[in-house]
Structure 1
Amino acid sequence: MTLPDAPPPEDSTVDESALLGGRVRLLQGRDGYRAGMDAALLAAAVAAKSGQRLIEAGCGAGAVLMQVAARRPGVALTGVERDPAAAELARRNAVLNDVKDRTSIVTGDVAAGPGPLAIPPFDWAISNPPFFDDPDALRAPSPGKRGAWMADDGLAAWTSFLLKSVKDGGRILMIHRADRLADILTLLGAKAGSFTILPIQPFADAPAKRVIVQAVRSGRAPLRLLPPLVLHDRSGAKHTPEAEAVLRGEAGLEF
């Protein structure tokens, strides 16, 4: 890997081993949102092939895109991010991880849709949207994290962006709260189908807190509900062996 020519911005740090067992290095804002397990799981669920094109809505500093790049050589990556500082970090991370030649980061607002970007439809459209859209019900823990926590234009703006970004037969992939599954299926179901749902459970005996939903634009196959991914057991280990393999990049999530 080659480092960017300029030093990191003063308000960022470099995590050299936090993602995919050290295969991905990431500049992140010191006080804002920092990539975690959701980003790793979303990237692990992408099965794009070399030569295909993928867009991420709300890419932040590029944590998902950089992990997809490491897992899927030859896939062309585009990220859309409304925060100029985060978008610039994503561009720097593409240089840091030697994928600048197949990565494009666009400063734009998901609420405006993909039309202003004037980009042809993609093979894949993915997102880890903000999990909340009611500022009266939940307040982000810090101003720097508000954009990652709160969807100002609601979940519908994010699903609409994904639907409009992908070609017929292309795949839409998102991770979200399990209690929003019905909303996700309704919103995506207007133009997509062939749903596959992967529940993410904190423990085998606990309800799912997250779901990864894959849909195919214009798809008509029956819905499939996969066996859950269980993140932890009661042995005291940080993760189950299956989850650890995914987080280290040794395995993917099969859809």
Structure 2
Amino acid sequence: MTPEADASTEPQIAESALLGGRVRLLQPTHGYRAGMDAALVAAVAAARPGDRVFEAGCGAGAVLMQVAARRPGTHLVGLERDAAAAELARRNAGLNGVEDRTLIVTGDVADGLGPLASPRFDWAVSNPPFFDDAAALRAPAPGKRGAWIADDGLKAWTDLLLAAAKDGGRIVLIHRADRLADLLALLGEKAGSFAILPIQPFADAPAKRVLVQAVRSGRAPLRLLPPLVLHDRSGAKHTPQAEAVLRGDAALEI
């Protein structure tokens, strides 16, 4: 590729700083860009050194790179169907110095784990698309469609996470609060010991998101945790708790 070609394509990708600058992330300037949801999933994944962490639909690697920064010594595997996003994830692993413990595989959630099936993982996480039906949205931009629309339905994502996690392994995902019953039913086929963290935009507003953690083959009672409130009415961008999570100064131990 010529220098001129490099110059013409480079403005399409920009570098963002996450976790207070501890993570550098290349991502598209237009289309889907990682944000709060990725940060929350990474904050929950309390992996220990030597643990294997799998992400379904890893995109440019925002969750995995934040897990890598928060949890040194973990081994990271991402599955992403968009080849350009998967390549960005590989570049981000190099940019953050964790390419030696990161594997990004180009593949579709609907096709299953393939060669990744063994050994299974200590953690299986995802920020899956929030909608199953394109008609439910007003014509998402092409660059955002893959992040918003689950072509194969939510079940394909939960099935993959269940297949990826070992017995006793933890499954973590974030989704719309109104899909909580579906998540519990789908994951409950092979997992239990649920912990549910409601995510509220304001303390006086209903939760719009839920973070769900399950344990494959777990049998402990379900726990409904106090909510994480993202904003207050003071005019600050985030509540102190949410800001601490975004900066990497706090985790979400659920």
With the length of structure 1 as denominator, give the TM-score of the two structures.
0.94
Give the CA RMSD over aligned residues. 1.5
1:51 aligns with 2:50: yes
1:116-155 matched pairs, under 5 angstroms: 116-155=115-154
Map of 2:25 onto structure 1: 26
Q: Tell me what 1:60 maps to.
A: 59
Percent identity over the alignment is 77
Segments of structure 1 that go 5 or more residues without pairing to the other structure are 1-5
Contact 1:140 1:149 in 2 (8 A): no
| Structure 1 CA distance for aligned equivalents of residues 149 and 52 of structure 2 | 28
**Equivalent-residue separation in structure 2 for 1:24 and 1:187 (angstroms):** 33
Structure 1 residues 95 and 8: alpha-carbon distance in aligned structure 2, compared to 1, 3 A threshold: farther
**For residues 172 and 119 of structure 2, what CA distance do their matches in structure 1 show?**
18
Distance 1:109 1:72 in 2: 27
Work out whether 1:76 is the aligned partner of 2:75.
yes
Whole-Å Cα distance in 1 between the matches of residues 63 and 245 of structure 2? 14
Q: Provide, for residues 3-24 of structure 1, a one-character-per-residue CA deviation record: whole Å limited to 9, x for no partner.
A: xxx999636423242x111111
Q: Secondary structure at the match of 2:134?
A: coil
Structure 1 segment 91-170 matched on structure 2, within 5 A = 91-170=90-169
AA in 2 matched with 1:133: D
After superposition, what is the alpha-carbon deviation per residue over 1:188-216, rounded to whole angstroms, capped at 9, x for unaligned? Answer: 00000000000000000000010000000
Contact 2:14 2:28 in 1 (8 A): no
Check 1:12–1:118 CA distance in 2 against 1; reply closer, same or farther (3 A cut).
farther
Give the gaps of 5 or more residues in structure 2. Answer: 1-5
Q: What residue is the counterpart of 1:13 in the other structure? A: 13
Q: CA deviation at 1:121?
A: 0.6
Aligned to 2:3: none
After the TM superposition, which of the residue ranges 162-171 and 8-17 deviates more from structure 2? Answer: 8-17
Asked if structure 2 preserves the Cα contact closer than 8 Å seen for 1:54 and 1:125, the reply is yes
Output the CA distance in 2 between the equivalents of 1:145 and 1:81.
Answer: 14
Q: What count of residue pairs does the alignment treat as equivalent?
A: 249
Change beyond 3 A, Cα 1:38–1:140: farther
Counterpart contact for 1:140–1:150, Cα < 8 Å: no
Q: How far apart, CA to CA, are the structure 2 residues paired with 1:136 and 1:88? A: 30
Does the Cα contact within 8 Å between 2:171 and 2:214 map onto a contact in 1? yes
- Measured after TM superposition, the shift of residue 29 of structure 1 is 1.6
Equivalence map 1:30-41=2 (5 Å)? 30-41=29-40
Partner-residue secondary structure (3-state), 1:155: helix
Query: Alpha-carbon deviation of 1:155?
Result: 0.2
